[in-house]
Amino acid sequence: MIKGIFPTEKFKAFETPFYYYDMALLRDTLDTIRRETDGKPFHIHYAIKANANPEILRLIASYGFGADCVSGNEILRALECGFSANKIAFAGVGKTDREIEIGLDNDIFCFNVESMAELEVLNDLAKARGKKAPVALRINPNVDAHTHRYITTGLNENKFGINEQDLPAVLRMIADGGHINLIGMHFHIGSQITDLSSFEDLCVKVLELREWFHTQGITLPVINVGGGLGINYQHPNHCPMADFESYFRLFDKYLKLEEDQTLHFELGRSIVAPCGSLITRVIFVKEGIKKRFLIVDAGMTELIRPALYQAFHHIENISSDKPLTPYDVVGPVCESSDVFARDFTLNESQRGDLIAIRSAGAYGETMASTYNCRIIPSSRFSDKL
Ligand code: LLP
């Protein structure tokens, strides 16, 4: 079994659990994205929700990428960490007045508007400021992302986006309101998408809608296809990077842009998931009746993905090279769902060993909670040990 390279000796001195970020891998990933989009009218807005750690954000911002935010506080965090306001897209089905005002007052790039009710409020708040709000309509494309149902967003049954049949009414509302500047359309079909044909389906839909807008005499300079590119959770050492080449090539091939049209992406997971690991210590090895449990000091409070989405994360014992043996790796939280993996083969483990739960850089630290009065985990960076 190939293992990741971790500075185990240094880790021994640290209190666990903590998130460890391989900053060289993150840089490699950002370089790759830059290379794959170079010379194309493609713009990346990093989805802050995936990981809002200031160190991570500063590095991503230093590449000149924009941000995709889903709350007023995410906008403020993005600005603090060096993202330009004119590259911030603001999405979300439930933006409060205060959050909309943060966007307006900072002159962000675009509001991804998800309903007529939101459009009306945005128009009024922009009017009160004597401004025009830049808007991309989030349209529900009814495209199946073939991913876990909790992270599918682009189907008619989901709460996200405006339905196609409402578009004529939306356009009337924009014309009547006078304080909306319609610049684009926005889509996001789901997350952890590994079957790229779902993105082909999305492209077909986008072209269809672009035609419809043309029939209304409208040309939209911005097309935003959201995020969703998946990573390989099974083999983090063999496949440490998402397939950006195929991903961007697909959009280049299937979504021919018009002159002055730009294509926007809101990638989160594919940028930050591989570089993060949750480092935890074995508290006890417990012999069950049919099982052997490895009880570690991290739980669903630090990484909720396995409990919430039955997500798979590769696990390694980075202190042991003894023979392999199966364990149920579980946390200390008082919930039966506090399980990282069942019957997972690890090097034989003992109390005090350090365990790395891999590919946890996205939706790990940001989704941590204080349930059971636990403490939000700290973070460490490979270039600052
Ligand atoms: N844009 C919008 C409008 C989104 O809702 C999302 C993610 C993204 C972009 C970024 O998608 P990504 O490239 O990261 O797939 N907590 C779940 C994932 C929730 C995704 C929510 N929306 C998980 O741990 O799998």
Fold equal for 8-18+275-384 and 24-272: no
Which of 269, 303, 357, 366 should be mutated for ligand 1, with most atoms under 8 A from CB?
Answer: 269
CATH of 24-272, one of 3.40.50.150, 3.20.20.10, 3.90.25.10, 3.40.50.720: 3.20.20.10
The CATH code that applies to domain 8-18+275-384 is: 2.40.37.10
Which residues face 43 on adjacent strands?
264
Please say whether the beta carbons of 99 and 121 come within 8 A. no
Q: Which atom of ligand 1 is nearest to the CA of 186?
A: 3
CB of 50 shorter than 6 A to ligand 1: yes
What angle do the packed helices 54-62 and 23-37 form, to 10 degrees? 30
Helix (H, G, I), strand (E, B) or coil at 199: helix
The pLDDT of residue 128 is 98
Residue type at 125 in one-letter notation: L
The 10s digit of each residue's pLDDT in 227-248 is: 999 999 999 999 999 999 999 9
Atom of ligand 1 nearest to the CA of 267: 13
pLDDT of residue 1: 61
Helices of type H across the chain: 8-11, 23-37, 54-62, 72-80, 97-105, 116-128, 167-177, 197-215, 244-254, 269-272, 305-309
Residue-wise pLDDT for 5-36, tens only, equals 899 999 999 999 999 999 999 999 999 999 99
Q: How far is the CA of 108 from the centre of ligand 1 (A)?
A: 20
Nearest to 325 by CA among 315, 333, 313: 315
> What separation in Å is there between the alpha carbon of 141 and the centre of ligand 1?
16
Residue type, 177: G
Distance CA 57, CA 60 (A): 5
Separation of CA 2 and ligand 1 centre (Å): 29
State how beta strands 110-113 and 339-347 pair. unpaired
Domain boundaries, the chain: 8-18+275-384, 24-272
Phi–psi pair at 138, nearest 5 degrees: -80, 115
User: For the whole model, what pTM was predicted?
Assistant: 0.97
pLDDT mean for each 10 residues of the chain (385 residues):
86 98 98 98 98 98 98 98 98 96 98 96 98 96 76 67 94 98 96 95 96 97 98 97 98 96 98 98 95 97 97 98 97 97 98 98 98 97 96
Q: Residue of the nearest CA to atom 7 in ligand 1?
A: 191
Name residue, tokens 């493609």.
42
Q: What is the pLDDT of residue 145?
A: 74
**Average pLDDT along the chain:** 96
